[in-house]
């Protein structure tokens, strides 16, 4: 086993196909395939499942890649420190359901390292996609929520992926509406109050499930429903359609402007926000720092009067 072979398998896992990886790694596809096959033979495992659509790590491959990435990262640090005399490039990734506070903390982290060499990634997507990103180490952290409705299923899915959920804070359920919506001036609203308005929710893709939905009370029957894939579209439709969505209530004026308000949901429950990670792999200093930014942002928002309308 060589360091170059480890770089190859990490590159293939990141690219999702041998063809794409060969272009990024500047190696002929047959040579790359041979190097991976030789490594699999030496280790006695199949690292990837191959198909016409690309490759995905096997269960053994996922475990192998977790160690391979650590070796490659340490080798990169050594080379950067001693071979070239330049500071190492910092690498960090986080995946999440659609929360403004996740983006705010990420922006703070990027600003903090503005003069450094870095490769940071932020992926907003589906609940299942967030779990998969962390399982396959596309991201070191994933931010999700649990509540009484989805807790058992989501906890099982996280456990099956050999990940761990770490609670960050609890948030009271709020309704996001446009500032011009008649409900915006209410001290609180009920699900019945929301009935005349379109409900906006995020698409969960092929793994769609009520238990994987980002919005509490998704099983409630409504006459008007709109499903979107990104946060910008959802907030635009909150204004354009006078729609609503149910979430944590934590907004960002920087990202969402001042046209969206959060109104407490009367008799609503709580959302337990937290992050998932691989418990066998200690959090990197970059991940620890990101979590500090995340906690600081949320604490400031709560102290400013969040949830006290």
d(CA 220, CA 29): 51
Whole-number Å distance between alpha carbons of 86 and 34:
33
Pair 267, 121: CB distance under 8 Å: no
- pTM of the complete model: 0.73
Distance CA(200)–CA(235), nearest Å, equals 9
The tokens 């926000």 sit on which residue?
A: 273
Order of strands, sheet of 199-202, starting from the edge strand that comes earlier in the sequence: 225-228, 199-202, 244-247, 174-178, 260-264
- Residue 151: left if φ>0, alpha if ψ -120 to 50, beta else—which one? alpha
pLDDT value, residue 304: 64
Is the sign of the CA dihedral 25, 76, 116, 278 positive or negative? positive
Among candidate residues 239, 227, 193, 185, the one with its CA nearest the CA of residue 98: 227
| 294 vs 141: CA distance, rounded Å | 12
The answer to whether residues 226 and 200 touch, using CB atoms and an 8 Å cutoff, is yes
CA–CA distances in Å: residue 100 to residues 72, 256, 271: 33, 8, 15
pLDDT tens digits, one per residue of 77-115: 677 666 665 555 667 899 999 998 999 999 999 998 876
Mean pLDDT by 10 residues, the chain (309 residues): 91 89 89 92 92 87 87 77 62 92 92 79 94 90 96 95 94 94 94 96 88 94 94 91 92 74 92 94 91 89 57
What's the distance, CA 121 to chain centroid? 10
- Given this model, what pLDDT does residue 88 score? 56
SS (H, E, C) the chain: CCHHHHHHHHHHHHHCCHHHHHHHHCCCHHHHHHHHHHHHHHHCCCCEEEECCEEEECHHHHHHHHHHHHHHHHHHHHHHHHHCCCCCCEEEEEEECCCHHHHHHHHHHHHHCCCCCEEEEEEECCHHHHHHHHHCCCCCEEEEEECCCCHHHHHHHHHHCCCEEEEEEEEECEEEEECCCHHHHCCCECHHHHCCCCEEEECCHHHCCHHHCCCCCCCCCCCCEEEECCHHHHHHHHHHCCCEEEECCCCCHHHHCCCEEEEEECCCCEEEEEEEECCCCCCCHHHHHHHHHHHHHHHHHHHCCCCCC
Burial of 279 (0-12, 13-18, 19+ CB in 10 A): exposed
């Amino acid at each position: 086993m060589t360091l170059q072979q480890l770089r190859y398998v990490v590159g293939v896992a990141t690219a999702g196909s041998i063809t794409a990886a060969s272009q990024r790694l500047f190696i002929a596809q047959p040579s790359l395939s041979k190097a991976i096959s030789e490594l699999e033979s030496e280790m006695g495992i199949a690292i990837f499942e191959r198909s016409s659509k690309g490759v995905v790590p096997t269960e053994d491959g996922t475990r192998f890649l977790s160690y391979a990435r650590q070796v490659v990262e340490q080798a990169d640090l050594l080379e950067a420190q001693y071979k070239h005399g330049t500071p190492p490039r910092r690498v960090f990734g986080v995946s999440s359901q659609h929360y403004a506070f996740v983006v705010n903390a990420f922006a703070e982290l990027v600003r903090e390292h503005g003069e450094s060499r870095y490769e940071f990634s932020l992926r907003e997507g589906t609940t299942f996609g967030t779990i998969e990103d962390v399982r396959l180490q596309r991201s070191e952290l994933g931010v999700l929520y649990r509540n009484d409705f989805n807790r058992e299923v989501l906890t099982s899915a996280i456990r099956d992926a050999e990940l761990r959920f770490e609670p960050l804070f609890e948030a009271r359920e709020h309704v996001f509406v446009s500032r011009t919506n008649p409900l915006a001036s209410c001290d609180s609203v009920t699900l019945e109050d929301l009935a005349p308005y379109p409900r906006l929710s995020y698409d969960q893709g092929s793994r769609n499930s009520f238990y994987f939905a980002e919005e509490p009370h998704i099983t409630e029957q409504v006459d008007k429903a709109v499903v979107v894939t990104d946060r910008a579209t959802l907030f635009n439709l909150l204004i354009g359609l006078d729609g609503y969505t149910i979430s944590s209530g934590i907004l960002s004026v920087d990202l969402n402007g001042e046209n969206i308000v959060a109104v407490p949901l009367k008799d609503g429950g709580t959302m337990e926000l937290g992050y998932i990670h691989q418990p066998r792999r200690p959090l990197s200093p970059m991940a620890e720092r990101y979590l500090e930014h995340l906690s600081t942002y949320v604490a400031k928002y709560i102290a400013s009067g969040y949830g006290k309308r």
